Amino acid sequence: MNKERDLKNLKSSYKLGFSVPEDYVFKSKKGLDEKVVEEISAIKSEPLWMRDLRLKSYQTFRQKQMPGWGGDLSQINFNEIYYYLKPTKTEAKSWEDLPKGIRETYNKIGVPAAEKKYLAGVKGQYESEVIYGSLLKSLEEKGVVFLGMDEGLKRYPDLVKEYFGTVIPPADNKFAALNSSVWSGGSFIYVPKNVKISLPLQAYFRINAANMGQFERTLIIADEGSFVSYIEGCSAPVYSTDSLHSAVVEIIVKRGARVRYTTIQNWSTNVYNLVTKRAKVFGDGVMEWVDYNGGSRLTMKYPSVYLVEPGAHGEILSLAFAGSGQHQDTGGKAIHAAPNTTSQIISKSVSLNGGRTSYRGLLQIYPGAKGSKSKVVCDALILDPQSRSDTYPTMRIDESQVQVEHEATVSKIGEDQLFYLMSRGIPEAQAGSLIVSGFVEPIVKQLPLEYAVELNRLIELQMEGSVG
């Protein structure tokens, strides 16, 4: 079959694993100390409060223990990492203004093409800095703000100061502290009251250098009654040494607003992806996380919703693929802190070729959150005897007037499904792919069409030769 041959041609599988030569404005020395933190702050000419926050966070990072659960973090050597790489002097408004190597990188990934067709705005981050930005004029006129986080801090210092670190305090965990001390880049988004952005905003994060640490910081504020859909993608070259990506994403969903945050995580398999993502949702607001993790060596990420006012609703759709040498430790958290709040977590995972997926989740209902409802469903497929899947859910229910459900299933591909497809003349490998596609369908169909196509392609590549 043609399609099969096409897939075979792509056998190198991770096609974004190329790199271009380094030609940077600034590269910090290897490793992390107070000097590096001060240097980053000085290069960015930041206000004093941010410099202090960074230094304080650095102390917190040093004091905090590594998490004693989740994946194997013992191979991370914090002294071998470059914490700050500034690739260009300024953020470009046009792709033509970017250095050739960077421009070609984004062309290969396909960001400029996508921008023309179906995006309302784009940010491109390369190493530590946002190097490209655009936003539809009509949105700018409505007061929508879509900036790199550094630019956001310069132009809206009061707004940033009011919200920065309020959803995820630096002391939340070791990696949130690390990010708070060396953060650079990421997106700053403000959507004014009742403004609904129909096309998605996108950010694309690229690591190019070896031993790179990328620490973007994103803050999204959706004012009352507004709507925004934000999509992030990422990739990196394949190196024999490891890179670290440790982002912090804070989202504020005000009364009646709705935010959808979609991640297509496609890091090369030498990247540690340790990310803290959390949304605070006010009255009748809606937060939706759509989280795909197919790349990286180890991902530890549990997008969270804190439902703090009545009627707030949170949804987490998590999809994970773990192949050879990969561990996807992912899931979600829903915290109900107000009456009549609702949440839903749906997790689907596939492990193959010795990969490991772990669902880790928390559902917490505080006293007084009467009438709250939550449903968690986790399904896992294990495709071969070398692979593994875990489910670690915690339900903490401190209020009696609630309804909480949790279900999880781990299984292999159904023999009868395979048999049926094969009896219709479909080769086993393809039948396996079909069944897996069907398994992940409920999450994939939540994506904009272009991404669903991209994701299906990524899944096909992951699945290649895995069944039969």
Partner 1 sequence: MGEKKDLVREKLELTLGRTLIDRLEEGESELRLGADEALTIFLLPSQKYKNKKLTVWLEGRGSRVEILGALLGGGEEESKISIRVIHKGRETSAYIHLRTVLFGQSRSLFSGLIRIEKDAIGSGSLLEDRVLVLGEAARAESVPSLEIEANEVKASHAATVGRIDEEQLFYLESRGVSRATAVRMIVEGFFEPVLRRLSRKDLVAQIRGELWADALKQYLPDS
Among residues 162 and 405, whose Cβ is nearest to partner 1?
Answer: 405
Among residues 54 and 356, whose Cβ is nearest to partner 1?
Answer: 356
Q: How far is the CB of 365 from partner 1 (least distance, A)?
A: 8
d(CA 320, CA 360): 12
d(CA 345, CA 445): 16
Among residues 269 and 364, whose Cβ is nearest to partner 1?
Answer: 364
| DSSP codes of every residue in 19-88 | ------SEEPPBS--HHHHHHHHHHTT--HHHHHHHHHHHHHHHHSPPPSSSS--TT--GGG-B--EE--
Within a 10 A sphere around the Cβ of 3, how many other Cβ atoms? 10
Among 90, 94, 324, 411, binds partner 1 (CB under 8 A): 411
Q: How far is the CB of 408 from partner 1 (least distance, A)?
A: 5
Among residues 162 and 398, whose Cβ is nearest to partner 1?
Answer: 398
Around 272, how many Cα atoms within 13 Å sit in the side-chain half-sphere? Answer: 21
Using CA atoms of 421, 425, 427, 430 in order, give the dihedral in degrees to the nearest 10. Answer: -50
Q: How far is the CB of 328 from partner 1 (least distance, A)?
A: 14
Helix or strand holding residue 150 (H, E) = helix 149-155
- The pair of structure tokens assigned to 121 is 């705005």
What is the residue type of 31? G
What is the per-residue binding string for partner 1 in 319-358, x denoting contact by CB under 8 A? Answer: ----------------------------------------
Q: How far is the CB of 411 from partner 1 (least distance, A)?
A: 5
Q: How far is the CB of 131 from partner 1 (least distance, A)?
A: 43
Among residues 143 and 367, whose Cβ is nearest to partner 1?
Answer: 367
Pairing of strands 402-411, 313-322: unpaired
Q: Which stretch binds partner 1 (CB under 8 A): 151-159, 341-349, 409-417, 436-444?
A: 409-417
Q: How far is the CB of 468 from partner 1 (least distance, A)?
A: 14
d(CA 123, CA 118): 14
Q: Binding of partner 1 at residue 465 (CB under 8 A)?
A: no
d(CA 200, CA 261): 10
Residue corresponding to tokens 């060396």: 182
* Per rule CB under 8 A, count of chain residues that contact partner 1: 31
132 beta partners:
92, 124
List the interface residues with partner 1, window 263-292 (CB under 8 A). none
List the interface residues with partner 1, window 125-144 (CB under 8 A). none
Q: How far is the CB of 379 from partner 1 (least distance, A)?
A: 9
d(CA 65, CA 57): 14
Among residues 195 and 418, whose Cβ is nearest to partner 1?
Answer: 418
d(CA 135, CA 119): 9
Helix or strand holding residue 455 (H, E) = helix 449-463
What is the residue type of 118? Y
Among residues 95 and 392, whose Cβ is nearest to partner 1?
Answer: 392
What is the per-residue binding string for partner 1 in 369-408, x denoting contact by CB under 8 A? Answer: -----------x-xxxx-xxxxxxxxxxxx-xxxxxxxxx
Among residues 143 and 414, whose Cβ is nearest to partner 1?
Answer: 414
Q: How far is the CB of 460 from partner 1 (least distance, A)?
A: 20
Q: How far is the CB of 97 from partner 1 (least distance, A)?
A: 51
User: Residue numbers of the site for partner 1 (CB under 8 A)?
Assistant: 367, 380, 382-385, 387-398, 400-412
